[in-house]
Structures are given as structure tokens and as C-alpha cells.
Amino acid sequence: MLDVKSSICSCEQETDEQKYTKLAELMKQYKNREGRLIQVLHMAQAIFGYLPLELQRYIAQSMEKPLSEVSGVVTFYSFFATQPRGKHVIRVCLGTACYVRGGKKIISRLQEMLGVEVGGTTKDGLFTFEVARCIGACGLAPAIMIDDVVYKQVNPDKLENILAKYK
């Protein structure tokens, strides 16, 4: 299986044309695979950083799928973004256990610290702030996730130390 992160992500200095060429080559590897749309979308997001409508059109056309199908998948799954994201993505869990144990307080404190609402990206482009329905850490709620790292038993007082690791 293809290691998406190591084979795709040196893209910040590439032109859009180079990115599209890279995506086209990767899409060839998935041409006849079942369920390839989600894999292609993940690769495209790794290359471009997000999935704007123009890119969704390109993928739909290349895969001979309706744009509505591609856009439907992109908007259904929360890990796909249609707007540029920050360098780090913060997700606050609002599953039942996290909500009951203080998830809303964490959201309020992060809004204050970052100066953005849920769904926003900080002006410096460092953080994108999102909400997740569940991140699977219910036993140690409340939890947040930054990129691929889960922080458990978080309270508003711990947030400054957690975010300092990413600055």
C-alpha cells in the first residue's frame, strides 16, 4: 500500500500544475480499485491541503464520476476540508462523555485563546479549530485531538501548555 504522507507531502513549494500532475499519476495507481474515491480524495487533500470545488471537478472528471458524488463525499466526511486549513488542526470532542465532562468549556477557552470561532483558522495560519462528534477517548473525557495526537482529561487550564508544543 502507498504511504500517502511520505510520497505526497512536499507540496508547499510546488506549483498547481506540478500538484495536478502528481495527483494524476497517483490516481492511475487506483484506477480499478473498489472504493477508490475516498483514497483519491485523501491523496488530493495531502497534496493541495484542501479540496476546493475546482479540484473536486478535476477529480470527478478524471474518475468519470458526477461532481455531485465527489462533493457529497467531501462534505459528508469531516476530515475533508473545502477551505485552506492551518498547519495544525485542533478538534474538540463533543461526544456525549466529552460534552458532559466540560467539552463546551474547552471550546470557549480555545475561542478566546485563538481568536477564532469553530471552523475558523487563526490569522497566522497556525491552527484550524474544529469540533468532532467523537474521537474514541470516552473513558478519559474530555478529549481534544491536535493533528493525530489525542489529549485526554483536558481542562481549560491545560490548553496553554498543550498549544505551546505546536508554536
- pLDDT tens, position by position, 136-167: 999 999 999 999 899 999 999 999 999 999 98
The b/e string for 31-46 (b: 16+ C-beta within 10 A; e otherwise) is eeeeebbebbbbbbbb
Q: Which residue has better confidence, 109 or 14?
A: 109
Query: Quick check: 136 and 97 in contact, CB under 8 A?
Result: no
Confidence tier at 13 by pLDDT (50, 70, 90): confident
Domain 88-164: which topology?
Glutaredoxin (3.40.30)
- Which residue ranges make up each domain of the chain? 4-76, 88-164
Taking the chain, what is the end-to-end CA distance rounded to the nearest angstrom?
33
Q: Give pLDDT tens digits for 67-119.
A: 999 999 999 987 798 988 899 999 999 999 999 999 999 999 999 999 999 98
